[in-house]
Structure 1
């Protein structure tokens, strides 16, 4: 198997960031998704250069950033390996969030309101045209009337992930992923058929307001739209649980 197939990489295109940041993002996603398993030895520097189509200095900087984040470790004379996370690397312990507890989800949504409103504001300022196009693609998939609940949860989470990516600050994405899909209220709510259309319409309007603000590069409007969306989600969840 070729190195390019091994890491499923393609030539990097600079999109408003450094080339090393682009490499870091791709490798971080593969490590967090499990595509690059814990303990696995990474390709050599030369193989990375061939796979990504960048210079050795770019690869060295990217590996240095991954080391700083605790995602990989270099063993002298042996190579660089995907690192096993330690307790101190975990920002949130997911086991403390009970998916079936309304009170716990309400608390998580308070955190999301703070985290994601700022993420939306930064995304409005920093997003690239390519990232906006991807956000629009996800939005169009999300607003389909015939989308199933299971699929809608996945696509909803992708929408928020894409906004976090558009901040160009990987910590927003890391935090969101650690909260996980169970922090999406629609994954918990039992929506009756007669209520589904209205519920979906409200969510669509809120997501579109967030998208429009990011598209317009209006940071204040993006923050307000995201905060309102999460506050409304919290209220809808509480009303449904009564």
Structure 2
């Protein structure tokens, strides 16, 4: 990394820590600090910006909490690759504190995945369709094991997004991955849940294979609607059973 000209000094009257954070975020956004880049040592960075080491240290803690940088002993502070994982962690926290409901997430997920299914039907390659078919076969084999079924389910939806060849769609879908995995694990303890979803996945794959854009969208819409109803019933039942257990963390369905 070039140590000159990247960081700017600023008036001490400003909120020093926030400004250091904003500078680093701006440099990351402008690709002047790329994933894997090493920031200058704490003392050198403080000198470049014109603040104390304490200010830099506090700014780094904020950036670490945001998932933008990470520290490695003997190496220093490294810029992280930013993807859906950081968004997923934040969404999960918002659901836990009741700032978002699962219905909020489901509505946005539906908008994304219905369109993804249509795009896949319009442009998926023979190789991609073959792999999608293999993922459906894997789902059927794993239907008796909730943990493996949930993993296979996530792989199916993520690979479908990859066929759109739009990295932003993948990042957005990944942002739901963590919280949706928890929900799927919760409801998939009933073996019938896995069995009920298998025809949906195969139907989506068949519509994609046929190049049926409208059919693929409809198949995905039907699948997500059915999945949400199962989730609502299961989580609602858990909430009812746990109503007298104040220590239990519960989400709004």
- Sort the TM-score into its range (normalised by shorter chain): 0.5 to 0.7
| Aligned partner of residue 39 in structure 1, secondary structure | coil
The alignment status of 1:135 with 2:129, answered yes or no, reads: no
Q: 1:67-86 alignment to 2 at 5 Å?
A: 83-84=79-80
**1:71-107 deviation line (CA, Å, top 9, x unaligned):** 9xxxxxxxxxx84468xxx766334443697x72222
With 205-214 and 179-188 compared, the bigger mean Cα shift is at 179-188
| TM-score normalised by structure 1 residue count | 0.58
Work out whether residues 116 and 161 of structure 2, in 8 Å CA contact, stay in contact via their aligned partners in 1.
yes
- 2:36 counterpart (28, 39, 57): 39
The alignment status of 1:160 with 2:157, answered yes or no, reads: yes
**1:147-197 deviation line (CA, Å, top 9, x unaligned):** 4211111110000011100111111111111111431442222644xxx23
The alignment status of 1:223 with 2:221, answered yes or no, reads: no
Work out whether residues 115 and 172 of structure 1, in 8 Å CA contact, stay in contact via their aligned partners in 2.
yes
Work out whether residues 139 and 159 of structure 1, in 8 Å CA contact, stay in contact via their aligned partners in 2.
yes
CA distance in 1, matches of 2:143, 2:115: 32
CA distance in 1, matches of 2:152, 2:96: 19
Q: Partner of 2:208 in structure 1?
A: 214
CA distance in 2, matches of 1:178, 1:238: 21
- Residues paired across the two proteins, number: 160
Name the CA shift for 1:135/1:100 in 2 (closer, same or farther; >3 Å): farther
Work out whether residues 36 and 81 of structure 2, in 8 Å CA contact, stay in contact via their aligned partners in 1.
no
**1:28-77 deviation line (CA, Å, top 9, x unaligned):** xxxxxxxxx94258xxxxxxxxxxxxxxxxxxxxxxxxxxxxx9xxxxxx
Work out whether residues 109 and 183 of structure 1, in 8 Å CA contact, stay in contact via their aligned partners in 2.
no
Gaps of 5+ in 1: 1-36, 42-70, 72-81
| Aligned partner of residue 176 in structure 1, secondary structure | helix
Gaps of 5+ in 2: 1-33, 39-67, 69-77, 238-253
| TM-score normalised by structure 2 residue count | 0.55
Q: Partner of 2:11 in structure 1?
A: none
Q: Partner of 2:180 in structure 1?
A: 183
Work out whether residues 121 and 222 of structure 1, in 8 Å CA contact, stay in contact via their aligned partners in 2.
yes
Q: Partner of 2:55 in structure 1?
A: none
| Aligned partner of residue 163 in structure 1, secondary structure | helix
Work out whether residues 153 and 181 of structure 1, in 8 Å CA contact, stay in contact via their aligned partners in 2.
no
Larger Rg: 2
CA distance in 1, matches of 2:127, 2:113: 20
CA distance in 1, matches of 2:229, 2:197: 13
